[in-house]
């Protein structure tokens, strides 16, 4: 009788203690994960700052006006609660061409509702933005050909085709001035694209945006992407540079005035 009496009272108490223990353990796990995430973010920020310094750039950190400053790019119109962070900037030469450069991470949220439940999803990406002294007022988009691009071609919504069938098949190119597209994508530039895996690039308002869609880049990828952008500007054809660089820049341009006397 006594044992049953004690069991009736102890078992509920033990159950409560067990629940409390589980809750405490869960709280500790959440705190540990939050601390680990915060440490990882600090390390990422420090690594991007070190990379920025190696390229002659400065770390800005948070950049809440990023989406308003570059509102003309479709990416920066998506969702809500938009923010730029881990952002670095500088005024450097890329591919021999003077550029204002801005790179870092970007988040935005998308809210959907089915009438019963509301879901908020955060989308993240990394980016490189350059504003070259090379005049490019045209609207130009270059990306790897996708399924919907092929559907568009079937429906008669075509992009620009080049002499290289391999390039035309692999890349979707749209430009407000077809002549500029053909001038820019000479055989050397086409070879550069075919020999690499370019990011999506958009020229709007004389500004170039390079991204790869969802997901933040690892630190090593920032260096690789900047190297690709450097190669892109280095491959801008000689006649395009001659027409679109300020006259004062011609003497210092490595393509127009190579120091070894070789011509590009």
- Per-residue pLDDT tens digits for 48-62: 999 999 999 999 999
The pLDDT tens digits of the residues spanning 200-255 come to 999 999 999 999 988 999 999 999 999 999 999 999 999 999 999 999 999 999 99
Using DSSP's 3-state secondary structure scheme, residue 216 falls into: coil
Joined together, the tokens standing for residue 237 give 């054809």
SS3 44: helix
pLDDT at 149 over 80: no
pTM of the model: 0.83
pLDDT band at 30 (very low <50, low <70, confident <90, very high): low
The two three-digit tokens of residue 246, written as one number: 């300020």
CB 55, CB 104: distance < 8 Å: no
At 66, the pLDDT band (50, 70, 90 cuts) reads: very high
* Segments making up each domain of the chain, as ranges: 1-54, 58-252
Q: Residue 193: what pLDDT? A: 97
Cα–Cα distance between 95 and 30 in angstroms, integer? Answer: 46
Task: Tell me which residue of 196, 197, 150 sits closest to 169, measured CA to CA.
Answer: 150
Across the chain, mean pLDDT equals 86
Buried residues in 178-191 as b, exposed as e (16+ CB within 10 A):
eebbebbbbeebbe
State the pLDDT at residue 41.
Answer: 85
% of the chain residues with pLDDT over 70: 78
User: Do the bridges between strand 80-94 and strand 140-144 make them parallel or antiparallel, or are there none, so unpaired?
Assistant: unpaired
pLDDT given at position 212: 94
Confidence band for 8, pLDDT divided at 50, 70 and 90: low
Which residues of the chain form beta strands (DSSP E)? Answer: 58-63, 80-94, 97-113, 118-132, 140-144, 171-175, 200-204, 207-211
């Amino acid at each position: 009788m006594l044992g049953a009496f004690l069991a009736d009272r102890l078992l509920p108490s033990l159950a409560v203690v067990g629940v409390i223990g589980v809750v405490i353990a869960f709280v500790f796990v959440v705190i540990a994960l939050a601390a680990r995430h915060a440490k990882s973010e600090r390390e990422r920020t420090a690594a991007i700052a070190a990379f920025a310094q190696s390229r002659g750039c400065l770390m800005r950190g948070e950049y809440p006006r990023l989406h308003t400053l570059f509102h003309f790019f479709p990416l920066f119109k998506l969702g809500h609660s938009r923010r730029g962070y881990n952002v670095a900037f500088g005024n450097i030469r890329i591919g021999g061409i003077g550029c204002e450069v801005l790179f870092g991470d970007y988040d935005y949220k998308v809210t959907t509702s089915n009438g019963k439940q509301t879901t908020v999803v955060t989308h993240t990406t990394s980016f490189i933005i350059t504003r070259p002294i090379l005049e490019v007022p045209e609207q130009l988009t270059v990306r790897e050909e996708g399924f919907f691009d092929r559907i568009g071609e079937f429906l008669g919504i075509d992009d620009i085709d080049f002499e290289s069938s391999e390039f035309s098949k692999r890349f979707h190119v749209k430009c407000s001035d077809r002549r500029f597209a053909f001038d820019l994508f000479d055989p050397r530039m086409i070879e550069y694209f075919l020999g690499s895996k370019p990011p999506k690039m958009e020229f709007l308002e004389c500004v170039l945006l390079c991204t790869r869609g969802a997901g933040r880049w690892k630190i090593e990828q920032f260096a690789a992407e900047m190297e690709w952008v450097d190669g892109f500007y280095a491959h801008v054809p000689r006649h395009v540079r001659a027409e679109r660089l300020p006259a004062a820049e011609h003497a210092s341009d490595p393509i127009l005035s190579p120091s070894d006397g070789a011509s590009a």
